[in-house]
Amino acid sequence: MPAWFDHLLFLILVVLFPVRAAYSGMRRLRRAAPAELPRVRLAVYREAMAIQWLLLAAMVAIWLATGRAFEAVGVAWRPSIGFGVMALIAAVAIGVTLHQRRRALADDQTLMDVRGKMQHLEVMLPHAPRELNTFYRLSVTAGICEEALYRGYVIWYLSAWMPQVAAAAAASVIFGFGHAYQGPRGVITTGVFGAVLAAVYLISGSLWIPIVLHALIDLHSGHLAFHAFRRGAELDRQRFEREAEGRDAVAPPAVESAPDPAPAAAGAPADAAHAAAAFVPEGGPAAAGPDYDVAIVGLGAMGGAAAYQLAARGVRVVGFDRWRPPHEHGSSHGETRLIREAYFEDPFYVPIVQRAYELWSALEAEAGAPLLRLTGGLMIGGADSALVQGAERSASVHALPYERLDAADVHARYRAFTPADHTVAIWEPRTGMLFPEACVRAHLNGAARRGAKLRFGEGVLAWHADGDGVEIETASGRVRAAKLILAAGAWMPALLGPAGLPLRISRQTLHWFEPASAPERFDPERCPAWIYEHAPGIYSYGFPRLNGMVKAAMHVPGETIAPDDPAREPTAEEAAALIGALGQYAPDAAGRRVKSAACMYANTPDMHFAIDRHPAHAQVIVMSACSGHGFKFASALGEAAADLAMERAPRFDLTPFRIGRFAAGEAGAPVR
């Protein structure tokens, strides 16, 4: 008969182990921010392995201390007809499974079916190679430990009070409820699986066949899920690329399209992305229950990141965009964008961009596509320039690695650069380039996979806030949401109405050149990204050569425009101004001009961000403007906007970005 310590071990297996799995492991995974998931997954895998081996060690210690025969819990080799039949059936089952796996890996539709079936367990299944390797070890651990404990030990324990067949049935039920963290379907599936393994155990008289089957099934499931999620991300990326190129593509059910908005009211531009009368004052339509928890206007860098973060937390999200992102109508395009850590604008930004690095890396792992490439960076200017002094200050305040180089050092290290003798440079290793179109796609893909409704081709005509939430009006109808995030970039003035920000929309141009000579000097392995300060507020910047071209641009106040002004191609004069600027320090960068593009900045008076709750409506969150230097922060600011929408405190103090600073006459003050 079982002793008191057997009762204790049984209680742990039946109650404590399942509860820990549900409320410690799975709960942590579901609550983790997307960027933390890889780390949390690995931790959960390792903890599960440690606990299972510890419980098995406890069982073995009990058996050794009491002198019991291990044959009682199936640790035996008993050649028999039953063992032979079960071994043959197991071998056939393994062969069929391996054949089906090969077919599944070669067929996209089958992989997508697998992804759909495993979607509810996505948070716990491996997404990166390192996670997959650890999951393999967990599968072997589960095969050995769970069979010894839930098949061998539990059946032995219950057989003291009931027939062995009944004990096996009860053990299967216990095994199923041990996987309650997988939901009702998981309980049933694992319970049936446990019953099959229990039957194999009883017929063969040994745990060896169930151990092998259990481990192989778990290995197979993890391997197939890994490839299903990775291939799904790749197919999503390809679909978005086709859509961006204007080709027909079949959108997933989570992504909705709508007709273009109706023409704007008289006096407004005919193709306005958001009507000039977008804000409706109090006294608008009557309130009704919300259709969504959060609505987002604008699905570029900021809005897409917010949608991703909210959807990852299980929030009901709907997003609207006049076009189909990523597109070239706003500020989230251009093939490359700078990301840098020693932020010269103010040390306040450094922790935010450090968080952004983490989130971009996590998103890249999930998307299975390159989003970020580190190249190192040079901040070049006079010794007393804002660029050099600001970058050095941020590096010093936050103990970041950097080097201060004179002009000769710069040229000796990077032959592409020939700065004037009076200049110096701050070199930092973490500068790099983001690929904006891929970043936007990855966020929108992730949001759509998690249930966000993304209504492309549907501009917002008006919104009205009341005590119960917000009503959003589009050409297709009206939608109610409990919260609203406004992330429309250059179209924010129209959306904000009477509480509008003092924004200035400026036009900026981007240019791509073939190097005039020694093109290899501009390769990413030999050339960092850079910024050069020509005068206060006048900068040029550029990137290493990609696809045979060096991209460079001016960062200047720029021409003031309206967001719906007819698009104009960059002019030869604008390109000439950039070529002249590059000639001061990198003359070989600008050979033949291959192409050019234009984008818009939405600038605040002090060139810092505006991220805050609407001054009149706490349920409305303003997530613009970013004054031409916000893209790199999008992943972290999306997380902060999601926190605000969920009434959580963001991990960063957003007070310096409050809207009220302009009314209070603080514009132009340094951020602290």
Catalytic residue set: 333, 336-337, 551, 555, 599, 632
Strands 620-623 and 477-486: parallel
90 and 209 Cβ atoms separated by less than 8 Å: yes
Q: What residues are paired with 202 via a beta bridge?
A: none
| Distance of alpha carbon 264 from alpha carbon 202, whole angstroms | 75
Torsion of CA 324, 554, 566, 561, to 10 degrees: 110
- The answer to whether residues 373 and 314 touch, using CB atoms and an 8 Å cutoff, is no
Contact 229, 125 (CB under 8 A): yes
Dist. CA 621–CA 469, nearest whole Å? 12
Q: List, in sequence order, every residue forming a beta bridge with 533; answer none if it has no partner.
A: 539
Strands (E), 304-428: 317-321, 337-339, 372-374, 377-382, 403-406, 423-428
Nearest alpha-carbon partner for 27 in 127, 120, 124: 124
Which residues, in sequence order, are CB contacts of 535 under 8 Å at separation 6+?
none
Sign of the Cα pseudo-torsion (161, 162, 168, 171, in order): negative
* Type of residue numbered 421: D
Cα–chain-centroid distance for residue 344?
26
Positive or negative torsion for Cα 270, 307, 346, 333: negative
Give the C-alpha separation, 162 to 175, whole Å. 18
Task: Take residue 483 and report the two structure tokens written for it.
Answer: 């919260």
Residue 236's identity, in one-letter code, is D
d(CA 452, CA 312): 9
CA-angle at 292, arms to 288 and 293, nearest 5°: 105
Tell me which long-range contacts 567-574 makes (C-beta under 8 A, separation of at least 24). Answer: 567/598, 568/507, 568/598, 569/596, 569/598, 570/509, 570/510, 570/511, 570/596, 570/597, 570/598, 574/509, 574/511
Contacts 24+ apart (CB under 8 A), 535-540: 536/385, 536/386, 539/387, 540/578, 540/581, 540/582
d(CA 491, CA 462): 12
- Residue 532: phi and psi, rounded to 5, are -130, 125
Q: Can you read off the two tokens belonging to residue 17?
A: 């182990």
- 619: Cβ contacts below 8 Å, ≥ 6 apart: 465, 469, 470, 482, 483, 484
